[in-house]
């Protein structure tokens, strides 16, 4: 179990990793289609938890979105939040928080921004305001070879691991599974390799990262839920939300968002394949 104590970690310069997901079908949305906002006009109006610092809540580790690489905190989310802080002209600090705190919105008592591979849902919109989507991310079911699980139906009555408070958990319950909860995605995947569970259900961006090129853990079901990921701010923080959207638009237009997608998910994750799911 991850400690409930919130840990503040200063973010160092992001190192450039080279991770690729073979056959990953995560497609980036067309963020640049929305009218841009001049972030410089917003900076003075920001009401940050700590003046001069963007404080971000994230569930760490959650590769390839946020995880430690040596002494550096790196990943897809970290590429973007560093750029947001740079655009605002402020320092970046990241708080290691449970995903339950992030999803419930209680994290906003100590953070300005939630950044942790958060699927945009109607329920979550009740407690937070979402940015433009920055990644499309359907669910997948991965099972251990020889488990007898070949699809969603054959997973009934089996031990299926999910991360607590995620859309994967909700989907499993809605489809008649009796999922086993894990506090974070790393524990979920460790349980699969240890044989504690026979399958895992979760977002393809993370699950495929853990099992890429491993024939012992094939994808047995692609689950096209149409999910999109977004960053989140407190419901009344329109100024910061505009700044976040402005950075996402700029990164889409100058190509750095595609570069980051390709770095962490492989070339198939860039916008070149076009439309939203």
The predicted pLDDT at position 21 comes to: 28
Q: Are residues 23 and 110 in the same domain?
A: yes
When divided into structural domains, the chain yields a total of 2
Q: Are residues 129 and 36 in the same domain?
A: yes
One digit per residue, the tens of pLDDT, for the chain of length 277 reads: 232 222 223 333 222 222 222 232 222 333 444 444 454 555 678 999 999 999 999 999 999 999 999 999 999 999 999 999 999 999 999 999 999 999 999 999 999 999 999 999 999 999 999 999 999 999 999 999 999 999 999 999 999 999 999 999 999 999 999 999 999 888 999 999 999 999 999 999 999 999 988 999 999 999 999 999 999 999 999 999 999 999 999 999 999 999 999 999 988 777 532 323 2
Look-up of token digits 């809540």: 57
277 within some domain: no
Return the closest-CA partner of residue 230 out of 141, 145, 118: 118
1 within some domain: no
Q: Are residues 110 and 210 in the same domain?
A: no
Return the closest-CA partner of residue 217 out of 204, 203, 199: 199
The predicted pLDDT at position 277 comes to: 26
pLDDT tens digit sequence for 71-107: 999 999 999 999 999 999 999 999 999 999 999 999 9
Q: Are residues 40 and 131 in the same domain?
A: yes
Q: Are residues 124 and 254 in the same domain?
A: yes
Q: Which of 223, 241, 258 is the last residue of a domain?
A: 223
The three-state secondary structure class of 39 is: helix
On the question of a cis peptide bond just before residue 61, with omega within 30 degrees of 0, the verdict is yes
The three-state secondary structure class of 209 is: helix
Query: Bridge partners of 53?
Result: 50, 91
2 within some domain: no
Domain hosting residue 240, numbered range: 7-136+228-271
Q: What does pTM read for this prediction?
A: 0.79
Q: What is the CATH number of the domain that holds 39?
A: 3.40.190.10
- State the CB neighbour count (10 A cutoff) for residue 253: 12
Tokens describing residue 215? 């024939």
Q: Are residues 197 and 239 in the same domain?
A: no
> Cβ-count burial of 224 within 10 angstroms (0-12 exposed, 13-18 middle, 19+ buried)?
exposed
The predicted pLDDT at position 44 comes to: 74
Residue 131 φ then ψ, to 5°:
-75, 180
Tokens describing residue 31? 């963020």
């Amino acid at each position: 179990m991850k400690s409930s104590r919130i840990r503040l970690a200063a973010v160092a310069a992001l190192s450039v990793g080279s991770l690729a997901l073979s056959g990953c079908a995560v497609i980036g949305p067309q963020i640049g289609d929305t009218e841009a906002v001049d972030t410089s006009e917003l900076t003075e109006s920001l009401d940050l938890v700590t003046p001069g610092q963007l404080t971000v809540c994230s569930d760490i580790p959650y590769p390839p979105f946020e995880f430690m690489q040596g002494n550096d905190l790196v990943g897809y989310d970290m590429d973007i939040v560093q750029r947001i802080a740079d655009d605002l002209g402020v320092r970046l600090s990241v708080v290691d928080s449970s995903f339950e705190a992030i999803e419930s919105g209680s994290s906003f008592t100590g953070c300005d921004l939630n950044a942790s591979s958060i699927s945009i849902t109607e329920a979550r919109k009740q407690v937070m305001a979402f940015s433009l989507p920055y990644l499309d991310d359907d669910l997948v079911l991965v099972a251990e070879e020889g488990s007898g699980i070949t699809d969603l139906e054959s997973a009934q009555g089996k031990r299926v691991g999910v991360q607590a408070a995620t859309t994967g958990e909700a989907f499993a319950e809605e489809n008649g599974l009796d999922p086993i909860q894990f506090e974070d995605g790393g524990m979920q995947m460790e349980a699969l390799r240890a044989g504690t569970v026979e399958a895992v259900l979760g977002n393809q961006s993370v699950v495929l990262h853990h099992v890429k090129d491993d024939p012992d853990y094939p994808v047995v079901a692609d689950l096209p839920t149409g999910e999109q990921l977004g960053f989140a701010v407190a419901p009344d923080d329109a100024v910061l939300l505009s700044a976040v959207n402005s950075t996402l638009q700029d990164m889409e237009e100058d190509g750095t968002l595609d570069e980051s997608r390709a770095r962490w998910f492989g070339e198939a994750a860039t916008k070149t394949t076009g439309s939203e799911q």
